[in-house]
Structure formats: structure tokens, C-alpha cells
Chains A and B, each alone.
Chain A
Amino acid sequence: MIISRRTKIALEALAVLVGTWLVAPTLVVIPISFTGTSSLAFPIRSWSTQWYHSFFADTAWMEALSLSLRLGLCVALVSTVVGTAAALGLRRFGGTRGRSFVRGLLMTPLIVPGIALAIGVYALFLRMQLTGTFIGFVLAHSVLGVPYVVITVGAALESFNPQLLHASASLGAGPMRSFLRVTLPLIAPGVLAGVLFSFVASFDEVVMALFISGPYTKTLPIVMFESITRDSDPTVAAASTLILGVSVLLITASLVYAARRNRRLA
């Protein structure tokens, strides 16, 4: 297609504008985290790294970080195992209509308003005495993690040639070995993306956490939320910047991995 020079410049400008609009609110926490004053005021007048010191020195922040990390890992594990199994099962599920029904059912946690889901979970957990417990958190957050894994693994399975399983069986491999040596390595990018997404879904979750956290189980977002409603301590900005940095690292690593892999298999 031929685009005139003027249209091209206009389109590029528009793209930059939209990109800025999407990214700017996220990036604004980075300068704020280095502020010298004890407020979240922007723009910054003086600079310091004191809020990073205060983040790592405060046991409340450290415990919240530790809890969120452990929780995220457990949720990623549970969601990935369940979600991968579900995605594999959906492929074999007879009938297109039944399949899309079950797929829709698995997706509901992403569509249902978070607050409705949170109230439901809260009501159930009160009865089952799971509020404020680690296992309760794992169960609740996995509900959010599973659909992400079903999506990413499902997408990876789209390009998986099922005849490879026939080949594998004809060579003497049973279903479990075929899965481990043929299916899993080939859908690994989808599984890893699922791990990443479900980890983030838990790490980032606020609404359910507001209901089910207890005095000894406060996740990082809860502590951030409480901190910012109590006073405008810029430690929150330092915490946000750290989370942002780790996310960018993880995503870059996974993109590099995917690119390398594609070059080999293409």
C-alpha cells in the first residue's frame, strides 16, 4: 500500500501520542520515588534515594513483599497446572458448542466485576474460615490466574501439530512421556506466559485482598493502599518503581527467549 508522506508523518505522530498516553501514568512514579520531599508532589524539586532505604528497612513493607512473592509463586504454580490441564482438555472436548461453553465458564473470573467476585469469595471464606489465611489467598487468586493460563496455553496449542503425538506414540512413548517430551517443550512459551500472567494477576490483586486479608496476611498492594490512604509517604512510589522494574525485566527476558526459540524452530 502506498501512503503519502504527509499521512505517514501524521500517523506516526498519532501513534507516539497514544503510546505516551498509555505509558505516562506508569512512568510518573519513577521520578516521584526519587523525590527529596515527603510528599507525592510532582514535578520534583529535590532528589534523594531515602524512600528506597525506608522501603527495605521497614519490616511491614518487607513482610508484605515477602508474602506477595510467595503468594504469587504458589498462585502461578496452581494456576499453571490447572490452566494447562484445562487447555489440553478443552482441545479434546467433544463438540464445538460444548467446548466454547466450558471455555466461557473458565473465563468468567476475568469478566465478572472484581467486586462481585470478591464479595462472593468473602462470603464463602467466612463460612469456611479461610479469611486471612495463606491457603485462602492461594485459592482466591488462582481463580483469577487460571483463565490467563487457559488463554496463553490455548493459543500455544493452536500451533501445536497433534500428529506429533501420534508419532510419539508410534515410537513407543505413553501419554505422560509424550506430554513431557513433546507437548510441553513445544507449548513452553504459552506455559511460561501463563506463569507470568498468573503471577502478576496475584501480585497485583487489590479488590479480593481488601476483603480476605487479615492482620498478619497483608499483601503488598494492601500495604501500599493503606499507606497512601493514611499519609502520602513516597515509599509507595519506590515500591511501585521496583515492581515496574522487575516486570519490565521479566517481560524483556520472555520476549528474548521467544525470539531465540522462533529462530530455531521456524
Chain B
Amino acid sequence: MSLSTPTKTGTGTVPQESNAGSSISLKGLRKTYGSVTAVDGIDLDIQPGEFVTLLGPSGSGKTTTLSMISGFEQATSGDIFVSGRRMTNVPAHKREIGLVFQHYALFPHMTVAENIEFPLKQRKISRDKRKQLIENVLATVRLEGYGSRYPAQLSGGQQQRVALARAIVFKPSVLLMDEPLGALDRKLRDWLHMEIKRIHRELGSTFVYVTHDQEEALVLSDRVAIFQDGKIAQIGTGETLYEQPANLFVGRFIGESTILSGGVVARHDGTDMTIQGRPIHVPTVAGFDGKTGVVLVRPERMCLAAAGEMLSDGVNHLPAVVSEVTYLGPAVRYSLRFGDGTVGTVRVGASNRRDFGLGESVEAYWRPEHGVLLEPDSTSDPTQDD
């Protein structure tokens, strides 16, 4: 940044006085439409200034939850607290919560500047102050000079940045975003992810973001709440969700994996299983006492060796056949078919790659601590939902 303009306080930092975000607390939140339960008892505590993403397939209740926080849906039962204040019966326009919609929802009869001015006029801010705030926020979303355009004259990405500017210009302590980048192409999305993260840092507000895109959730959030059939299946950092999924639904939803099912043979400090006739060892999971279970292994944790090759003691290994080889640039992905028909995925970094051909018999192996023991479940694969 140039040092010759000491009067300017950095490129477009919105808040002069960075306001802290509000905490959000959902307690037993439920929403039913007739006999259909959209949200089935959500308990969620969001810290001030945190970036939390509600992630799940369509129809899992994440958008309904967001609508209840914003005040457009009345909860059937349960409570919503923002900064400890009960919001359940406060009308939407008095909640002081910023909102960004998937389809922008800009006022088409107002210019960009008038759109952004709307919440400021509502708050009876003086004309000079309004002008200043509009200029600052346009700089924040990198749209300087666009104030006099109409929304119809802007691209989708620009419109969404205007919508974002309009939602943050009055410095709400909470900003909700409902799949804001869903209608944009991938390259623009990647760039806006970085922009949103930067704005979150600068603003200090609490961000709640809804998406069905797991990658987006991991890139943006401090914590991700995975929604499954109106409930939160698991909430945690991306690392927790990826390394220690609470159930098979979460395991399948976040990232790729190989899922092997088998019977439990014995428990001591670890758990012994039999999968496809081979002994397999996994770490014991507290509270798991089923007779059958599944073992989830991430693709970069599984390795390949030639059939019959000597493997070090203590690793789990199963024979398989290579059914597909995909070159990804930095890595190579092998699809495997195990003896019982299970399909597996192995990702090998390009640098320590060994070539295995299509149809070649291999031995897939992994260290016991890299398998996650989970309850088998019957729910459908969430990645197939969309």
C-alpha cells in the first residue's frame, strides 16, 4: 500500500470503530409445516464474531433455520437469542440483522448508491455521513465508481457485491447469507470467498452462512454445522468433521472416502473387526457397542502396494483391483474394487506415485489409527441428493 496518503485509513475498511459481533443461541428450535417437520429441534451456540456455516443437502432445514433467525419464519417452538436478547417474537425489521440472498434482491428502481443508502436513510443518518459510508463500503466491496449504475447494468458478481455492501453498511452485528454465491460461476466464487473472509475479518460481525457446497463451507468457516433431516448431525471445525465424522452421513458429505463394512470381533484398547475375511483394527469409539460397523478411510490415508508385497506389521490391508486411474495434476486418484464389490478411492501424491494400471491387482493398506469406526446406517448417500 502507498504510504503517501496518510489521511486514508487503508483501502476501504468499513467500520471506523470495529463493532463486535453478537452471540447467537438457538434453543430447541423447531419448525413444522402441517405434518412435515422442516427443522427438528436445533440447539446451536454461535460465538460473537464467529463465522459459522450451515451445510447440508437441500431440504435438510438449513435455510428454514436461517429464515427463523432473520425473522421471516415463525418458529413452531423453541427460542432464538441474539446477544442474550430473546428474538423469537421480534419482527424482522427490528432485528438489526443483515441479510444477503442467493438472488441478490437489489431494488431494481434504485441505483447502486440508493440501494446502499436505503438502510442508512431508515436510520436517519445525516446526508454527509451517508455519502461517506456509501463511498467507504463501495471501496470495501471493490466497486468504487459504480454508485450511479442501476442493478440491471451490473453482472451477477457485481450485483452480489452491491447486496453485500447494502447488508453491511449499517454495521449489523450479525450477517446472514443464504447461498449468496450459488448463482455465480466457479472462478468468481473462489475470488468472492476470499473477499467475504476479508470483510468478515474487517467487520468483526458474526456471520452465518448457508450452503450445500462442502468446499465452500470448509474454505470460509470457523465452524460448520452439518444438517441432516432437520437436525444438526455434527458441528465442528472442518478438520474435526473431516478427521472424526460423527456418523456416516457426515463422513460421506465431507470429502471422499472408502467405506468398508464388517463385523466386530473383539474390543480391548482398540477394536478388532473382520472385513472381507481379513482382520482389521480400528481405534475404539466411546459408546459404540454394535455387532457390525463400518470403517471409513480417507483417500490420502490409504496407500497401494503391489499384490503380495511385504507390508510392515500392524497395518490393515485388503486386496483390491484398480478400476479407474485419474490424473489430477498434483495427485493421482485410483478407484478400487474390493472383493465384496465395495468401491474405494485412493489418492496418491504425484511425487511418490507408483504406477498401477487398470485392472491390476493391488493391496490397499492403511494404519489402524486412520480408520474411523462408525455405525452403519441406511440413509441414502447425501452427495447424491442434488
Give the interface of A toward B (CB within 8 A).
161, 163-164, 166-175, 177-178, 181-182, 185-186, 264-266
Contact = CB atoms under 8 A, between A and B. Distances in A.
A167 B152 contact: no
Listed residue (A164, A166, A168, A173) with the most chain B CB atoms within 10 angstroms of its CB = A166
A264 B108 CA distance: 9
Contacts, number: 71
Given A170-B97, A171-B119, A173-B122, A265 B108 contact: yes
B119 A265 contact: no
A48 B123 CA distance: 64
Interface stretch (B99-107, B211-219, B315-323): B99-107
B96 interface: yes
A182 B108 CA distance: 9
A170 B109 contact: no
Contact of B152 (A166, A168, A182, A266): A266
Interface residues of B, number: 29
B61 to A, nearest CB: 19
A164 B107 contact: yes
B150 interface: yes
A72 to B, nearest CB: 28
A170 B170 contact: no
B220 interface: no
Interface of B: 70-72, 91-99, 101, 103, 105-109, 118-119, 122-123, 150, 152, 163, 166-167, 170
A172 B150 contact: no
Contact of B167 (A170, A175, A186): A170
Contact of B105 (A161, A177, A264): A161
A186 B109 contact: yes
11 contacts: A161-B103, A166-B70, A167-B99, A167-B106, A168-B118, A170-B97, A171-B122, A173-B118, A175-B93, A264-B109, A265-B108
B92 A170 contact: yes
B236 to A, nearest CB: 29
Contacts of A175: 93
B107 A170 contact: no
Contacts of A170: 70, 92-93, 95, 97-99, 167
B93 A169 contact: yes
Contacts of B95: 170
A87 to B, nearest CB: 19
Contact of B72 (A166, A171, A186): A166
A174 B93 contact: yes
Contacts of A186: 108-109
A166 B101 contact: yes
A175 B163 CA distance: 20
A173 B108 CA distance: 17
Nearest to B169: A171
Contact of A173 (B72, B93, B167): B93
Contacts of B92: 166, 169-170
B96 A172 contact: yes
